[in-house]
């Protein structure tokens, strides 16, 4: 598995672009994480938690009706069946356990749509940690149900009223708060972004997705997939799915949020359209203007609506190991509907981007007919029903 250098660089990407005040905490986290990785007791505890509490490993499912229509063999990694409804439980259980190891008593987290916030609040309450979640004020209004979930779980939710009042501003606020509370607080970051060692830490806790999938596919089919497809916002589920296959002859595809279409400028396709810069502590691809000011991203999927991307993805893109392509809102919603109608599975709009991308690869014959494609179904769609109702017009008597 490729590792960053000792100061957290993958090629020219990654690193630590943060105030000196945070360096000591990042060093502490780096050491604690590396030790935990090699500690059988920690690993056993985390595995038991994942199994008994997180519902891991998630199933691997051959989607026959969908495959028949697509002309390729599609296998779905069912992360939507995990506790709290997404791959994110893997990351929060790992980091919360690490927080306790470091002797810290509190976690803070940023959240966009609220999925990571709910997962963080879940892990925190389970492990007896205090939890504060920063969420853009816009998002607290749009995702009131998730705000209620976090509060029910005992977390404090702080609406962020600065900047564009969305995920990137929530992350700014979490970083600000962390500087002031770092002696007893861990920043339980939600994706493979941020300063080193966060991209490595989050990847290591999410890589179970790919590790499990690899073993499950070998067991069920006797072979590795020809391609792996995952959606990419910050990129935690995609890194989790890709890592096990990096050294294999397996094509890796990350599908970014194409929003209204790449050409409209209203999208969150950071690798496709962004340029190299520094955001939230790492050098990576960033949606930015000519001066380096961050540009607001747009996507129907709140979980992909972020103007940066994890630095390891930037490296995989720059070296050509993985391909990243945009998928529009319309393509994602069509795939979401198709999965519901063929397989009876309602996935998250984020995950629908991965599926839409895989279907496109089959359609345009980038993948030969009969290819075996692993699609990471990173989350379930319950949280998105409001958006679905609006998008398909179900509230206007439209029965489709």
Partner 1 sequence: MRTAEAFAKTRAEGRAALVGYLPAGFPTLADSIKAIDIMIENGADIIEVGLPYSDPVMDGPAIQKAADRALHAGFRTSQVFEVVEAVSGRVPILIMTYWNLVERYGTGRFAADFAAAGGAGLITPDLIPDEADEWLAASDAHDLDRVFLVAPSSTDERIASTVAACRGFVYAQSVMGVTGARSATSTAAPKLVERTRAHTDLPIGVGLGVRDGDQAAEVASYGDAVIVGSAIVGCYLETDDVPSGHQRLAELTTELAGGVRR
Give the residue numbers annotated as catalytic, written as ranges. Answer: 88, 110, 378
Is the Cβ of residue 295 or residue 330 nearer to partner 1 in the bound state? 295
Task: Check residue 25 for interaction with partner 1 (CB under 8 A).
Answer: yes
Q: Which of 2, 5, 12, 23 binds partner 1 (CB under 8 A)?
A: 23
Applying CB under 8 A, which part among 151-159, 207-215, 291-299, 364-372 lies near partner 1?
291-299
Task: Check residue 265 for interaction with partner 1 (CB under 8 A).
Answer: no
In angstroms, rounded to a whole number, what is the distance separating the alpha carbons of residues 186 and 184? 7
Task: Check residue 182 for interaction with partner 1 (CB under 8 A).
Answer: yes
Q: What 8-state DSSP symbol labels residue 347?
A: B
Cα–Cα distances (Å) from 73 to 11, 92, 227, 271, 383, in that order, read: 35, 32, 11, 28, 28
User: Smallest distance, Å, CB 258 to partner 1?
Assistant: 23
In angstroms, rounded to a whole number, what is the distance separating the alpha carbons of residues 195 and 17? 6
Contacts for 97 with CB less than 8 Å, ≥ 6 apart:
36, 42, 45, 46, 49, 127
User: Smallest distance, Å, CB 175 to partner 1?
Assistant: 4
Task: Check residue 103 for interaction with partner 1 (CB under 8 A).
Answer: no
Task: Check residue 311 for interaction with partner 1 (CB under 8 A).
Answer: no
Q: Which of residues 346-385 bind partner 1 (CB under 8 A)?
A: none
Task: Check residue 19 for interaction with partner 1 (CB under 8 A).
Answer: yes
Contacts for 139 with CB less than 8 Å, ≥ 6 apart:
111, 112, 113, 114, 165, 166, 167, 170, 302
Task: Check residue 31 for interaction with partner 1 (CB under 8 A).
Answer: no
Cα–Cα distances (Å) from 170 to 33, 39, 139, 203, 280, in that order, read: 25, 33, 10, 21, 11
User: Smallest distance, Å, CB 141 to partner 1?
Assistant: 20
Q: What is the DSSP string of 36-95?
A: HHT-HHHHHHHHHHHHHTS-PSPPEEE-HHHHHHHTSEEEEEEGGGSGGGBTHHHHHHHH
Q: Which of 35, 141, 176, 341 binds partner 1 (CB under 8 A)?
A: 176
Q: Which of 77, 168, 203, 360 binds partner 1 (CB under 8 A)?
A: 168
Q: Which of 293, 320, 344, 364 binds partner 1 (CB under 8 A)?
A: 293
Binding site for partner 1 (CB under 8 A): 7, 15-25, 162-163, 168-169, 172, 175-176, 179-183, 277-281, 286, 288, 290-294
């Amino acid at each position: 598995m490729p590792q960053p250098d000792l100061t957290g660089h993958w090629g020219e990407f990654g690193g630590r672009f943060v105030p000196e005040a945070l360096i000591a905490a990042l060093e502490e986290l780096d050491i604690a994480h590396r030790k935990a990785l090699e500690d059988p007791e920690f690993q056993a505890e985390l595995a038991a938690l994942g199994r008994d509490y997180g519902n891991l490993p998630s199933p691997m499912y051959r989607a026959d009706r969908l495959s028949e229509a697509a002309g390729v063999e599609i296998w779905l990694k069912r992360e939507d069946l995990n506790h709290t409804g997404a791959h994110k439980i893997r990351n929060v259980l790992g980091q919360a356990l690490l927080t306790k190891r470091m002797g810290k008593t509190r976690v803070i987290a940023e959240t966009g749509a609220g999925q990571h916030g709910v997962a963080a609040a879940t892990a925190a309450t389970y492990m007896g940690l205090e939890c504060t979640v920063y969420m853009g004020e816009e998002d607290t209004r749009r995702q009131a149900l998730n705000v209620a979930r976090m509060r029910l779980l005992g977390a404090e939710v702080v609406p962020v009223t600065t900047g564009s009042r969305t995920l990137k501003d929530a992350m700014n606020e979490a970083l600000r708060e962390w500087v002031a509370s770092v002696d007893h607080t861990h920043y339980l970051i939600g994706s493979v972004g941020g300063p080193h060692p966060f991209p490595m830490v989050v990847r290591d806790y999410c890589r179970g997705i790919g590790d499990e999938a690899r073993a499950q596919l070998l067991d069920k089919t006797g072979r590795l997939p020809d391609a792996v497809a995952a959606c990419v916002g910050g990129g935690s589920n995609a890194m989790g799915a890709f890592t096990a296959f990096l050294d294999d002859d397996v094509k890796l595809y990350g599908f970014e949020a194409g929003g209204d279409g790449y050409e409209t400028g209203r999208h969150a396709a950071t690798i496709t359209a962004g340029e190299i810069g520094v955001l939230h502590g790492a050098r990576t691809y960033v949606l930015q203007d000519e001066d380096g000011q961050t540009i607001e991203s747009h996507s129907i999927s709140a979980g992909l609506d972020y103007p940066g991307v994890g630095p390891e993805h930037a490296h995989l893109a720059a070296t050509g190991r993985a391909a990243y392509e945009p998928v529009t809102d319309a393509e994602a919603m069509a795939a979401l509907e198709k999965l519901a109608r063929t397989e009876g599975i309602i996935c998250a709009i984020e995950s629908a981007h991965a599926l839409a991308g895989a279907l496109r690869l089959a359609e345009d014959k980038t993948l030969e007919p009969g290819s075996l494609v692993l699609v990471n179904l990173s989350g379930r769609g319950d949280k998105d029903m409001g958006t679905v109702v609006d998008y398909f017009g179900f509230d206007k008597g439209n029965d489709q």
